[in-house]
Amino acid sequence: MSKPICIGILGGGQLARMSAFEAIRLGFNVAILEKIKNSPAGQLTKEEFVGWVDNKKLLKKFSEISDIITLENEFIDHKYLEYIESIGKTVIPSSQTISLIQDKLIQKQTLAAAKIPVAKFVKVDEQTDYNSVSRQLGKKFVLKSRKMGYDGYGNSTINNSKDFDRAMIYLKDRHSDLYAEEFVSFRKELAVMVVRTKKEIKTYPVVETIQKNHICHTVIAPGDISERLRRNSIEISIEAVKSVKGFGLFGIELFLTENNKILLNEMAPRPHNSGHYTIEACITSQFENHIRSALNMKLGSTEMIKPAAVMINLLGKKNGPGVVSDLNRSFLFEDVHLHIYGKRQSRKGRKMGHITMLGENSKSILNYLKKVEKKIII
Ligand SMILES: Nc1ncnc2c1ncn2[C@@H]1O[C@H](COP(=O)(O)OP(=O)(O)OP(=O)(O)O)[C@@H](O)[C@H]1O
Ligand SMILES: [Mg+2]
pLDDT the model gives residue 84: 98
Question: Which fold would CATH assign to domain 186-375?
Answer: D-amino Acid Aminotransferase; Chain A, domain 1 (3.30.470)
Q: Which atom of ligand 1 is nearest to the CA of 149?
A: 21
pLDDT the model gives residue 1: 60
Kindly list the distances between the CA atom of residue 269 and the CA atoms of 75, 114, 128, 312, 316, in Å, as whole numbers in the listed order.
10, 18, 30, 22, 26
Ligand 2 centre and the CA of 271: distance in Å?
A: 13
Cβ(142) to ligand 1 under 6 A? yes
| Smallest CA separation from ligand 1 atom 26, residue | 151
| Smallest CA separation from ligand 1 atom 15, residue | 152
The bound ligand whose nearest atom lies closest to the alpha carbon of 143 is 1
- Among 136, 150, 155, name the best residue to mutate to test ligand 1's pocket (greatest count of ligand atoms within 8 A of Cβ): 155
Which residues touch 354 (CB under 8 Å, ≥6 apart)?
A: 276, 311, 312, 313, 314, 339
Domain with CATH 3.40.50.20 in the chain: 6-91
Cβ(73) to ligand 1 under 6 A? no
3-state secondary structure the chain: CCCCCEEEEECCCHHHHHHHHHHHHCCCEEEEEECCCCCCCHHHCCEEEECCCCCHHHHHHHHHHCCEEEECCCCCCHHHHHHHHHCCCCECCCHHHHHHHCCHHHHHHHHHHCCCCCCCEEEECCCCCHHHHHHHHCCCEEEEECCCCECCECEEEECCHHHHHHHHHHHHHHCCCEEEEECCCEEEEEEEEEEECCCCEEECCCEEEEEECCEEEEEEECCCCCHHHHHHHHHHHHHHHHHCCCCEEEEEEEEEECCCCEEEEEEECCCCHHHCCHHHHECCCHHHHHHHHHCCCCCCCCCECCCEEEEEEEECCCCEECCCCCHHHHCCCCCCEEEECCCCEECCCCEEEEEEEEECCHHHHHHHHHHHHHHCCC
- Among 102, 121, 142, name the best residue to mutate to test ligand 1's pocket (greatest count of ligand atoms within 8 A of Cβ): 142
Domain with CATH 3.30.1490.20 in the chain: 120-182
Would you state the CATH architecture of domain 6-91?
3-Layer(aba) Sandwich (3.40)
The bound ligand whose nearest atom lies closest to the alpha carbon of 151 is 1
Mean pLDDT by 10 residues, the chain (378 residues): 90 98 98 98 98 98 98 95 98 98 97 98 93 97 90 89 93 84 97 98 98 93 98 98 98 98 98 98 98 98 98 96 88 93 95 98 97 95
Question: Which fold would CATH assign to domain 120-182?
Answer: Dna Ligase; domain 1 (3.30.1490)
The bound ligand whose nearest atom lies closest to the alpha carbon of 214 is 1
Cβ(244) to ligand 1 under 6 A? no
pTM: 0.96
What is the C-alpha separation between 30 and 19, in angstroms, rounded? Answer: 9
Predicted confidence (pLDDT) per residue in 123-165, tens digit: 999 889 999 999 999 999 999 999 987 777 889 999 999 999 9
Domain with CATH 3.30.470.20 in the chain: 186-375
